Every structure is written in C-alpha cells, then in structure tokens.
Amino acid sequence: MKILIPLTINSFKEIIRQPFYYVILISGCLIMLMSLTFTFFAFGEEAKMIRDMGVSTITISGLLTGCLSSSVLIANEFERQTVLAVLCKPIARIHYILGKYLGIILATIVLILSQGLVLEIALIINKYSKISSGLSDVSGLIDYVCLLGIYFSLLQVLILTAISLVLSLYLNTAANLTICLLVFILCHTFSYILPFYSHGYIIVSIVTPICYALFPNFQNLNLMSISGTVADPVLFWQKGTILQYTVCNTFYTAIYCMAIIWLAVTLFKRREIA
C-alpha cells in the first residue's frame, strides 16, 4: 500500500492536468444544461428526455476519459521510454498497473460525479418549473432512477477502462479508441444480434455463450434496462429488486475488472521493455 497509494495519486494528478479532461468535463456539463431547451419537443416527457440525454452524456464522457487517460499514462510512457525510470525503482509491475488503473478511475469518478451533480440540478430545475406552474408537487424532487443510471454508467466505465488499459500496452491512442468504441457498440447489441442467429447454425450456438463470457454485457447496464426494471417504482423498492439488481451487476463488474487487470499484469510481465 505504501507504493500503490503514491502511484495512484501521481496518476490522478497527471490526468487532471491534461487539457482533454476539462474539455470533456465542461462539454458534458454544457450538453446537459442545454438539454433543458430541448424539452419543448418532449410533450410531457421532459424529465425522461433530460435524464436519458444526461446519463448518455455521462457515459460517453467517462468512457472517453478512461480510454484517453490509459493512452496518456501507459502508451505514451512506452513511446517516450519513461516507464524504464519508474520500473528501475523497487516497484513491482502489478503495482504499476494497479496504480495507473486506480488513478484513472479516481479521476473518472470525479468527472462523473461533477457531471451527475449538474444533471440532477437540471432535473430539479425542470421539476421546479412544473411545481411553480402547478403541474406537479414537491414529492419526487430527487430523481433516483437518474442516480442509478449514473452508477451503472460508472460500472461501464470501470470495465472499458480496464480493457483500454490492456490495449494501451501494445496500441497507440487512435487504435485504442477505435477498438474500445467497437467493443462498446458490440457489447450493447449482443441481445439483438446473437439470439437472432443462435438457432440457425450449430457453430453459432456454440460461439454465442463464449461471446457472452468473454465480452461484458453492457445491455444490463444501460438506462433502457434500468428504466424497464423500475417501471413500477413503488413495487420496485418494496420487493428489494433494486438491491438484488445492483448487487449482481456490481459483483459482475468487479469480477470482470479483476480478470482484465490480471490479464494486463500478466501481459506486462511478459513484455520486454527496450
């Protein structure tokens, strides 16, 4: 821990000094505030429109931050050969990988929480305007579905950042971002593509469970699935479905991230640093 904590703090400081960090942070906040002007076309679904746009913006912002940070902290250090100066010290390679990953996650959490606060303020402003006009009451001022959506966005970021960390050991920034984007899109379309073709051929029916095991199932972590799960809020909270749903997906994310980090450490140990 004496080695890991300084590595994490140094990685965090290095990320928040990057210009792209603040560009992503400010751009996401502006998009969520601008969503208040788009609600004129929602026809009674203003809050849902703001929430969907805001959570999607937070997810994309977190993924961009995680992937870009991985390239800045690892890929660029390999190109400049500055990683040799770090590994010459009594630092194990597992501590190096964990320190970089935790520093990236810490910086991304700060960004997601900041944008999440702006999103909640936008929802409160929208709710307050309805209260002022007599269309709604004070109850439900805090949007708990939005908070849950932000949390599951963070889980997606944890997984894809770990994948980006592995790719940063061998690829540059452009290739890293491209592959992460393809993985993100693919993992959001599993439930639409694989079940459709799994009944046609034996080979595909064998490949389908392998793909579900190797690739993360982001379909369970998007806002559409959450909205469907919480369609009846009263019944949802009373039956404790929220706790079971959240705990299962949290454990899934933790196990998947640990497996990817273990893979990154293994590949890093086998890689020769010239």
- Among 25-34, 49-58, 225-234, the range scoring the smallest mean pLDDT is 225-234
Helix axes 93-132, 144-168, angle to 10 degrees: 150
- Alpha helices by DSSP H, listed for the chain, are 4-16, 19-38, 46-70, 76-80, 83-87, 93-132, 144-168, 173-187, 190-197, 202-214, 223-229, 233-238, 241-270
Q: What is the pLDDT of residue 93?
A: 79
Q: pLDDT tens for residues 45-66?
A: 677 788 888 888 999 999 999 9
Range of the domain at 225: 4-270
Q: pLDDT tens for residues 179-224?
A: 888 888 888 777 666 655 555 566 666 666 777 777 887 877 776 6
Q: What is the pLDDT of residue 158?
A: 92
Considering its fold, how many domains does the chain have in total? 1
Give the predicted TM-score (pTM) of the model. 0.83
Q: What is the pLDDT of residue 27?
A: 92
Q: pLDDT tens for residues 134-169?
A: 555 555 566 777 888 889 999 999 999 999 999 888
User: Which amino acid does the sequence have at 70?
Assistant: S
